[in-house]
């Protein structure tokens, strides 16, 4: 069985500061990992993914994520947060031979001016 844990329901940061949203996963085999963002009254939007290759993945809006196999983690990061980054963030994992993705319960990011 595959699973995702997002240990923080809420993350609060000041604008301009770096942000980290944590994610750990469990899956059989090499994982496919994803981050999605959900703004109020809008659908889930893809941010970035790790399939293979470089452990540091860069995505949309200046976000990046680091795949750490030994810690089974895929934390989302951004060097300098913007107020407009405030949203609900979901981490997801998929086994390489499956179509099913398992999502975490989400982390609400609030960036204050």
Partner 1 sequence: GAGVSQTPSNKVTEKGKYVELRCDPISGHTALYWYRQSLGQGPEFLIYFQGTGAADDSGLPNDRFFAVRPEGSVSTLKIQRTERGDSAVYLCASSLQGYTEAFFGQGTRLTVV
Q: Other C-beta atoms within 10 Å of 85: how many? A: 19
Segment contacting partner 1 by CB under 8 A, of 12-20, 61-69, 71-79, 99-107: 99-107
- The least CB distance from residue 29 to partner 1, in Å, is 13
Task: Please state, in angstroms and rounded to a whole number, the distance separating the CA atoms of residues 11 and 6.
Answer: 11
Residues 3-32 that bind partner 1 (CB under 8 A): 4, 32
Residue 90 to residues 66, 105, 113, Cα–Cα distance (Å): 15, 7, 23
* Through-space distance between the first and last CA atoms of the chain, rounded to whole angstroms: 41
Residue with smaller CB distance to partner 1, 99 or 113:
99
How far are the Cα atoms of 27, 34, 35, 67, 95 from residue 19, in angstroms, in the given order? 26, 17, 15, 16, 28
Residue numbers 57-86 binding partner 1 by CB under 8 A: none
102 touching partner 1, by CB under 8 A: yes
98 is a contact residue toward partner 1 (CB under 8 A): yes
Q: Which of 14, 51, 56, 83 binds partner 1 (CB under 8 A)?
A: 51
Provide the binding-site residues for partner 1, judged by CB under 8 A.
4, 32, 34, 36, 42-46, 49, 51, 90, 92, 94, 96, 98-106
């Amino acid at each position: 069985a595959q699973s995702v844990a997002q240990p923080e329901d809420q993350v609060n940061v000041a604008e301009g500061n770096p942000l980290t949203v944590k994610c750990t996963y469990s899956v059989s085999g090499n994982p496919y990992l994803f981050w999605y963002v959900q703004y109020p009254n809008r659908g889930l939007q893809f941010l970035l993914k790790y399939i293979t290759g470089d452990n540091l993945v860069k995505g949309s809006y200046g976000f990046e994520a680091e795949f750490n196999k030994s810690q089974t983690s895929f934390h989302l990061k951004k060097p300098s947060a913007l107020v407009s980054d405030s949203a609900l963030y979901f981490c997801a994992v998929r086994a390489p031979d499956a179509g099913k993705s398992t999502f975490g319960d989400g982390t609400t990011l609030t960036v204050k001016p």
